[in-house]
Structure 1
């Protein structure tokens, strides 16, 4: 009996190893902290250090921007890959061109970085990449208002080079060596262009200069009390609706003079801010080794959310489910992948087959774990794909029940609230107040997710609350990677406002004529 067990385990081990992507050797570790869930297939000591530094960094940002703790805040998953080549392959870009990135999907936000040692002092480290991306995440979730592209990236670059000493004291504003080439040898990009426009239309070299000079200006302004006061005045003007050019010129003075000051700054060097006071943070890190199946599952989960070889990922998930048929996590991930395949099936018949598969797998999960949020969500979303995305009223009602089930199982999960609202907005006309309140709660929990933000903006617009709607999408109009989308949304909202005002005017005129009669 003992030899059979050993052989069975050996077969499973060999089979799952064959399923793994090229380069995947070690089993993964999970590190749980107060604000993060980190995963790595590297050494435990390395992961622990990553986790501790991340917690220190969160505390640093909270201290600088006076952000308190939020009860039941959603922790950020962080996937630490072997090196930039692995990251680049996942993203489908040039080998070694990408060291990490951040995404905020409807199912949740995540960051992806790497643990390789930098090849030179001009290469960013995995920790710097994580700090950069987490600054974006932190600002979007906790810091109110909108920020122009240069400052959004400038803050991320400025804080990314933060270092902590053994006594937990810290230094902020260290030189961003990875931007050295762009600042010294890259194509010239006047500060006027940076302060008045975003990244659209720039080539790769110009983009590097944009990031570098944004960091340089941010560093310059953050280096003393007078500069920070200027920056605060600028942000206030920007958020009051002052056009970017006017806000910049009225605060920073002539662009030509500012350009000269920044050039001089690159020559004489900059001073970082060091604090001898230790940063307070929660040092608790709980390390959990993942077994072979869960390690393979994690890799396939990463592949799915970054959309790396989706067909192959689905095949591997099915193979993994065949050898681990009672693993709820495996089946839940498979159901999600099957549903995503259904949406890209290409024909009504293929879609129907894939939707049925996703529903069937979700049902298996719910039979094993009736309160599984992922499976309830997948089943509800699959029901809405009936008849090639044209569900009946009965289907929509059934889908809503699944979203309510998911919400009851985990009231802190925002997506069930969002999908409940969307089931009305997309299929049943005007959503009831309870659905709008649910959407507001979802956005409050995860304002970094663009889908929630846009849905809430148009919900407000439909209620005539256009100023609130504009405030929500204005953030996108200056986002480094969504500016064009944000501008189109503003145009749509402006058109809705005009139509509503015209309708209300005609209605008032009609009522006045009726009263005169």
Structure 2
């Protein structure tokens, strides 16, 4: 019978023959408009980041926009496969290879390398247009624009192209039953048209209608007149018939004929795009923490298996006890699903090692704000909120483009007797300017404007929420607030 020593030697020999699971090496590329994370090669990362910058340049040239120095850079995560994608987004349906998310916790895109370029270009078009005023577009045009640019090509040399045919949408239009055109014209977005098959056709028909409208100068002029009319409150179907001279049925026939023709696309000369790209290698903890952190920042904590994620990040923190990223991840999970004291301890340890961690500073401020809100002693509550404001000021110094900091600074003032003062309104404006895509921040900013009687500013903030093509719970809230503005305006001023 083998001795204990023999058994130990045998186990060590077998262990030596077993290949170890190597940690992936994550890199971070920073360019003027993006921060891109990838566990692939540095060359692929640089090439992809440069391509995103060229696409951004195409959008700016096409729409006459300059560089946005005060807007937060978009984080993009490139992952190896669907399994990695679902580590970050466990509830993402099968078949998805990319996703774009906007919430108070983060704005980011994540996709499988080499499989989701059109998805990212589609969503970045929304991201770009939200920064540059697409709030007055009907749902079909908002989605149609995104589809129109999703097939763009932006080579390093030569002309950039956009409006190229979309084979997937063309196939759907050839094979599937079309939605009634009046339904497409009236829908606020894809969520207004029912099931997934209907939403797919909504995207396809929106692409076809946008492509048709932009392919002829006379139709472009009619489109401008149409947008002006419907934003003035005119009925979208009646206005279409009056301006374009076609009924919804005739429009469908025109689109079918157009799709059978050779679709035209546009080309444009881009100036040389040579962005400065800085690549750094992240600490080894990134492989264990980066994707679970995305899961932890989910807009709705109910969508997350919190206890399991907490246990995962507790285990990770023991493997990387001195890594700020792992400690911040643990702090967020403890705050959400565990123990506030443990969260605070992890965040203090993280900030001792990386004093300018915006994520860590925001979480610490959130803990202190919550403590101040429930304090029985008003003096102690005010003290806790002042401490929170100190952490938020440090976060603002670390990154003056982060919308989350401005929103937190504005919200922490809501219990003050002089809220909202002019500085509070300015803080809300800055939060919206840095993240116009986050509808809940727009809503809170609008309420502050209403409290000061700034109704026109409130309407400007609320209109994109009502017109949001992706719908969401904020739409009804925005409509209610617009109704309240109308009621307040109808009340005569006191003598």
TM-score by length of 1: 0.82
Does residue 314 of the first structure (1) align with residue 299 of the second (2)?
A: no
Aligned with residue 136 of structure 1, among 115, 126, 129: 126
Does residue 284 of the first structure (1) align with residue 276 of the second (2)?
A: yes
> Using the alignment, how far apart are the partners of 1:368 and 1:290 within structure 2?
15
Does residue 495 of the first structure (1) align with residue 480 of the second (2)?
A: no
User: Superposition pairs for residues 183-222 of structure 1, below 5 Å?
Assistant: 183-197=173-187, 198-199=189-190, 200-222=192-214
Equivalent residue number for residue 432 of structure 2: 443
With over 3 angstroms needed to count, the CA separation of the structure-2 counterparts of 1:493 and 1:478, relative to structure 1, is closer
| Alignment deviations for residues 157-205 of structure 1 (CA, whole Å, 9 cap, x no partner) | 0000001345242221111122234212223202211011132241111
Equivalent residue number for residue 253 of structure 2: 260
Does residue 100 of the first structure (1) align with residue 115 of the second (2)?
A: no
**RCO higher in 1 or 2 (8 Å CA, sep ≥ 6)?**
2
Does residue 412 of the first structure (1) align with residue 433 of the second (2)?
A: no
> Using the alignment, how far apart are the partners of 1:480 and 1:330 within structure 2?
36
Mapped contact 2:28–2:280 kept (Cα < 8 A)? yes
With over 3 angstroms needed to count, the CA separation of the structure-2 counterparts of 1:94 and 1:458, relative to structure 1, is closer
> Using the alignment, how far apart are the partners of 1:484 and 1:325 within structure 2?
40
- Higher mean displacement: 493-502 or 460-469: 493-502
User: Superposition pairs for residues 318-329 of structure 1, below 5 Å?
Assistant: 318-329=314-325
Q: CA deviation at 1:69?
A: 0.9
Mapped contact 1:470–1:490 kept (Cα < 8 A)? no
> Using the alignment, how far apart are the partners of 1:196 and 1:93 within structure 2?
31
> Using the alignment, how far apart are the partners of 2:43 and 2:107 within structure 1?
26
With over 3 angstroms needed to count, the CA separation of the structure-2 counterparts of 1:224 and 1:483, relative to structure 1, is farther
TM-score by length of 2: 0.85
Does residue 360 of the first structure (1) align with residue 345 of the second (2)?
A: yes
Mapped contact 2:27–2:279 kept (Cα < 8 A)? yes
> Using the alignment, how far apart are the partners of 1:157 and 1:144 within structure 2?
15
Q: CA deviation at 1:337?
A: 2.3
Equivalent residue number for residue 68 of structure 2: 70
With over 3 angstroms needed to count, the CA separation of the structure-2 counterparts of 1:91 and 1:408, relative to structure 1, is closer
Q: Structure 1: any 5+ residue segments left out of the alignment? A: 1-10, 18-23, 117-124, 343-353, 512-517
Aligned with residue 381 of structure 1, among 356, 366, 383: 366
Aligned with residue 339 of structure 1, among 332, 335, 341: 335
Equivalent residue number for residue 80 of structure 1: 78
Does residue 155 of the first structure (1) align with residue 151 of the second (2)?
A: no
| Alignment deviations for residues 196-232 of structure 1 (CA, whole Å, 9 cap, x no partner) | 1132241111111100010001111122322322222
Count of residue correspondences: 467
With over 3 angstroms needed to count, the CA separation of the structure-2 counterparts of 1:177 and 1:431, relative to structure 1, is same
User: Superposition pairs for residues 245-256 of structure 1, below 5 Å?
Assistant: 245-253=237-245, 254-256=247-249
Equivalent residue number for residue 121 of structure 1: none
> Using the alignment, how far apart are the partners of 1:423 and 1:390 within structure 2?
14
CA RMSD of superposed structures (Å): 2.8
Mapped contact 2:88–2:291 kept (Cα < 8 A)? no
Q: CA deviation at 1:308?
A: 5.1
- Higher mean displacement: 404-413 or 89-98: 89-98
User: Superposition pairs for residues 299-310 of structure 1, below 5 Å?
Assistant: 299-306=291-298, 309-310=305-306
Give the match's secondary structure for 2:267: strand
> Using the alignment, how far apart are the partners of 1:402 and 1:84 within structure 2?
37
Q: CA deviation at 1:33?
A: 1.8
> Using the alignment, how far apart are the partners of 2:81 and 2:219 within structure 1?
37
Does residue 33 of the first structure (1) align with residue 23 of the second (2)?
A: no
Aligned with residue 225 of structure 2, among 225, 233, 238: 233
- Higher mean displacement: 77-86 or 470-479: 77-86
Q: CA deviation at 1:113?
A: 1.7
